[in-house]
Amino acid sequence: MSGDPTEPAREHNAVARLKLTEALQRAQYAIAWERAWPHLARFLTVIGLFLVVSWAGLWLALPLAVRLAGVGLFALLALAALLPLVRFRWPTREEGLSRLDRGTGIRHRPATALTDTLSSQDPVSQALWQAQRERTLASLKRIRAGLPSPRLPIHDPWALRALVIVMLVAAYIAAGDERSLRFASAFDWNGVLAPTNIRVDAWVTPPNYTGKPPIILSSANREAAAAESGPLAVPAGSTLLVRSSGGNIDVVVGGGVAEVAPSGEAPKGTNERHFKIAGDGTAHVRAPAGQPLWRFTATPDRPPSIALAKDPERQARGSLQLSYRLEDDYGVTEARAQFVARPGDAPKDPSQAGTQAGTRTAEVRPLFEPPQFPLVLPNARTRNGVGQTVKDLSEDPYAGADVTLTLTAKDEAGNEAKSEPFNMRLPERLFTKPLARALIEQRRILALNANRNADVNAALDALLIAPEMFTPEAGTYLGLHSVARQLEAAHTDNALREVVASLWALAVTIEDGNITDVDKALRAAQDALKQALERGASDEEIKKLTDNLRAALDNFMRQLAEQFRNNPQQLARPLDPNAKVLSQQDLKNMLDRMERLSRSGDKEAARQLLDQLQQMLENLQMAQPGQSGDNDMEQALNELGDMIRKQQQLRDKTFKQGQDSRRDRMRGKQGDQSMGDLQQDQQALRDRLQKLQEELAKRGMGPGQRGEKGQRGQQGQQGQQGQQGQGGQEGDQGDGEDGLDQADSAMGDASGRLGEGNADGAVDSQGRALDALRKGAQSLAEAMQQG
């Protein structure tokens, strides 16, 4: 099959004509742009100048008449710039072809030539004509419309358009957040019709928590908005109120100032607008005219700060005293102390903390939340001061546990701050009787980890094995047996919590009988009166609670007097010259003064006086003989109790490490890096024991003095008993003076075995150290009871 030989030529001609048509359109657009752009550039220059004047704030400073004239002038200039466009004419086809002929750079006007027609029908002429058209179509590949050339320098020889652009950028940056406000002020026509008898008052009301008075912004106080004084500093969250009488007002705000709904109805005959100042911003009353523009700088409320003024202290009866420094720009309104349990066996190596601590945390199931309580503030709104709180946590299950203390402070705006965490051990009540101390230790173990109830049950059963040694009194034995059976039958957390309460009650009964009831009643009366003062109770309730406190205090005094009568040898002791002696009359005078302050309305001063009374009772010596020796004994006994706990924990860790080491050796693993840490802990505990022995020796309570007494007693018997007396001397010293020495020796042996990597031998030595420590503590407690 053969096609038409002229078909390719016709397709080529069609493509060439399409390219010509497209080029012609581009040429017409370019001519139209060259004709219109000079007029549009003049119009945009006028608009740019208007924006420069607006963003520069000129309209805000000009009177209304000048403002109207200025806006009208700019409108006329813009209209004049656009007026020539009325005569605008779209380029014709011939003008487009002519531009193409000039833009191609080819001779003989190729674009125009294609539009010509042949009038002769001569074959020769037609052949020549067709050949010419083919050459012209072939040259269309180079045809170009060219870029528009509006020749702006001819219309703007001074390049004012560039100056306008520079000023426009500068004014845009300078206006900042007020661009829309300054632009809108050019079209502020409200002042034209505003009556002259409108009164406008404005003021800023700071938030209630600041305690600051309102700031007047009316016409009589124009200096508040004067440019030379700068923006007016107000607390963030303040309320701007603009009130008018005699007509409506128009207020324009910008920046961080936003209108809010009014909190109440405006007074009759007035109109009000309310605005919240959340950040830096402006406010301008546009109608009536002549009102100033107010600029505000919002001062954010800084969060409070709280920190310990000194380390927490243990009071004489086991209470915790916290001293802390508070600071806030407008005053702290609430402060709390929060405790978090801190594991006593946390690994020293941080890289091991993730695996070991995670495993142990999964095993721990505390029955109680760590304690937290509100702190006493020096003032209702404390801006800068030092506060002090005394809190009795002796009955809390966490007493004696390692915790992390964090203080929190909050202001009325809701800002909260926390102190640096402080690691400490919560103070606990000192129990001198071994059985009571053992029960309290088991109580703490059960309260902090309910999963160890089996261990606690085994310990209680062990105490029941030899009643003649541990529980010689029938009532004590029966109470211990009841608690052990109660623990054995407890299968829920609530039941275990009841066991914890029973252990505390039994230990207190064993320690000091009924005096705790008197002590508890006194503290309950103090707490009730303090809570009533803090919540602003009525005078009748305050009087009733004060009478209750007075009765509890009298009962407490009678109990102390009975102790003196039952233990007259205490009166023979010398008075401590550094003791603060208080009489019963002094305490009654403080109660009377506190009641008078409360009736007069000064409940804050009454509360502070109650805190002083509580602190005095915590350190009460009530004109009784000084007991510095007993206090030293108590401190030493408390220190020994802590060492016993540490040694028990260290023994448990050593036993577990030994098991892990044996498993690693069976698996072919090597390395016993934790043994070094255990050795360091054991040596640190031994150094602590040696330091305690030195302190006891300096105060005349060391083993040496008791040894001398024992030797003198044995020497008096040697003449009659011979070698038997010598044997008795050794036995006496072994129970009394050698207990701590044996513990020191066993600790040294355990440290050496840990250094050798012998975990089993170290566990045996640590067990001997535990027994020796308990014997030493029991001997020290008996010496304290004998006076």
**125 found inside a domain:** yes
Among the candidates 268, 299, 330, a domain finishes at 299
One domain, residues 615 and 657: no
- The stretch 729-752 carries a mean pLDDT of 69
DSSP bridge partners of 382: 332
What element of type H or E holds 772?
Answer: helix 759-786
Clarify whether residues 756 and 766 are in a common domain.
yes
From the number of C-beta atoms within 10 Å of its C-beta (0-12, 13-18, 19+), residue 572 rates as exposed
Q: Which of 22-31, 165-174, 290-299, 724-733 has the lowest mean pLDDT?
A: 724-733
Is residue 635 located within the same domain as residue 745? yes
Residue 390 falls within a domain, yes or no? Answer: no
pLDDT-based confidence at residue 711 (cuts at 50, 70, 90): very low
Give the CB-side neighbour count of residue 235, counting CA atoms within 13 A. Answer: 19
pLDDT at 785: 54
3-state secondary structure of 775: helix
User: Is the same domain home to 622 and 690?
Assistant: no
Regarding whether 660 and 594 lie in a shared domain, the answer is: no
Question: Do 755 and 611 share a structural domain?
Answer: no
Task: Please check whether residue 242 is in contact with residue 203, taking contact to mean a CB–CB distance below 8 angstroms.
Answer: no
Q: SS3 string of 108-158?
A: CCHHHHCCCCCCCCCHHHHHHHHHHHHHHHHHHHHCCCCCCCCCHHHHCCC
Q: What is the pLDDT of residue 126?
A: 60
Measured CA to CA, the distance from residue 611 to residue 376 in angstroms comes to 9
pLDDT of residue 102: 66
Average pLDDT score over residue span 230-240: 87
The answer on pLDDT for 8 being more than 60 is no
| pLDDT value, residue 600 | 80
Specify if 633 maps to a domain: yes
Q: What is the pLDDT of residue 736?
A: 42
Dump pLDDT digits (tens) for 383-393. Answer: 888 888 888 88
Burial of 267-301, coded b for 16+ CB within 10 Å and e otherwise, reads eeeebebbbbbbebbbbbbbbbeebbbbbbebbeb
Confidence of residue 326 (pLDDT cuts 50, 70, 90): very high
Q: Assess if residue 262 is contained within a domain.
A: yes
Task: Provide, rounded to the nearest whole percent, the portion of the chain with pLDDT above 70.
Answer: 69
Whole-angstrom distance, CA of residue 432 vs CA of residue 436: 7
Query: pTM here?
Result: 0.51
671 token code pair: 């390395």
CATH number at residue 580: 1.20.120
What per-residue confidence (pLDDT) applies to 306?
Answer: 93
Which helix (DSSP H) or strand (DSSP E) does residue 388 occupy? strand 382-391
Residue range 179-183: average pLDDT? Answer: 78
560 and 640 both lie in a single domain: no
User: How confident is the model at residue 165, as a pLDDT?
Assistant: 86
Q: Given this model, what pLDDT does residue 376 score?
A: 87
- Can you tell me the mean pLDDT for 459-468? 79
| Residue bearing the bigger pLDDT, 139 or 578 | 139
Domain count, the chain: 4
Predicted local distance difference test score (pLDDT) of residue 345: 40
Range in 281-295, 548-562, 732-746, 760-774 the model is least confident about:
732-746
Average pLDDT over residues 13-40: 72
- 20 or 730, which is more confident: 20
DSSP letter at 380 equals: S
| More confident: 673 or 517 | 517
Q: Which helix or strand (DSSP H or E) is residue 565 part of? A: helix 539-566
- 612 & 639 share domain: no
> Taking 70 as the threshold, does the pLDDT of residue 68 lie above it?
yes
Residues 652 and 765 grouped into a single domain: yes
| Whether residue 361 has pLDDT greater than 50 | no
Is the per-residue pLDDT at 337 higher than 90? Answer: yes
CA atoms in the 13 A half-sphere facing the CB of 411: 24
Does some domain include residue 431?
Answer: no
Radius of gyration for the chain, computed over Cα atoms and rounded to the nearest angstrom: 48
- 616 and 642 in a common domain: no
Q: Give percent of the chain above pLDDT 90.
A: 11
User: What is the distance between the alpha carbons of residues 723 and 538, in angstroms, rounded to a whole number?
Assistant: 79
Please say which residue of 264, 299, 334 terminates a domain.
Answer: 299
Least confident of 43-52, 245-254, 650-659: 245-254
How much is the pLDDT for 626?
Answer: 41
638 and 775 together in one domain: yes
219 lies in which domain range? 191-299
Rounded Cα distance between 327 and 331, Å, is: 7
Residue 368 resides in a domain:
no
Q: Please, are residues 234 and 277 in contact by the beta-carbon 8 Å criterion? A: yes
pLDDT higher than threshold 50 for residue 509: yes
In terms of pLDDT, which residue wins out, 677 or 619? 677
Q: Are residues 644 and 608 in the same domain?
A: no
pLDDT at residue 510, as a whole number = 83
Residue 571 falls inside a structural domain: yes
| Backbone phi and psi for residue 87, each to the nearest 5 degrees, phi listed first | -90, 15
pLDDT band at 394 (very low <50, low <70, confident <90, very high): confident
Least confident span in 169-178, 351-360, 423-432: 351-360
* Residue of 281 and 161 predicted with greater confidence: 281
Q: How confident is the model at residue 352 (pLDDT cuts 50, 70, 90)?
A: very low
Residue 720: what pLDDT? 35
pLDDT band at 111 (very low <50, low <70, confident <90, very high): low
Residue with tokens 């233990």: 567
Split at pLDDT 50, 70, 90, the class of 15 is low
Q: For position 346, what pLDDT does the model report?
A: 39
Report the mean per-residue pLDDT for the chain. Answer: 75
Q: Where a domain ends, among 271, 299, 327?
A: 299
The residue-averaged pLDDT of 435-464 equals: 89
The reported pLDDT for the residue numbered 733 is 37
Query: Does any domain span residue 330?
Result: no
Local confidence band at 143 (pLDDT 50, 70, 90 cut-offs):
low
Query: Average pLDDT in the 78-99 region?
Result: 77
Q: Is the peptide bond before 153 cis (omega within 30 degrees of 0)?
A: no
Does 737 have pLDDT greater than 60? Answer: no
pLDDT band per the 50, 70, 90 thresholds, residue 513: low
Question: Which ranges constitute the DSSP H helices of 490-538?
Answer: 493-512, 515-534
CATH number where 283 lies: 2.70.50
On the question of pLDDT at 219 being above 70, the answer is: no
Which of 173, 181, 170 has the alpha carbon at shortest distance from 256? Answer: 181
Grade residue 69 by pLDDT with cuts at 50, 70 and 90. confident
What DSSP string describes 281-346?
A: EEEEEEESTTPPEEEEEEEPPPPPEEEESS--EE-TTS-EEEEEEEEEEEEEEEEEEEEEE--TT-
Look up residue 321 and give its two tokens.
Answer: 């005293």
Tell me what pLDDT residue 25 has.
Answer: 73
Instruction: Tell me if 101 sits within 8 A of 111, measured CB to CB.
Output: yes
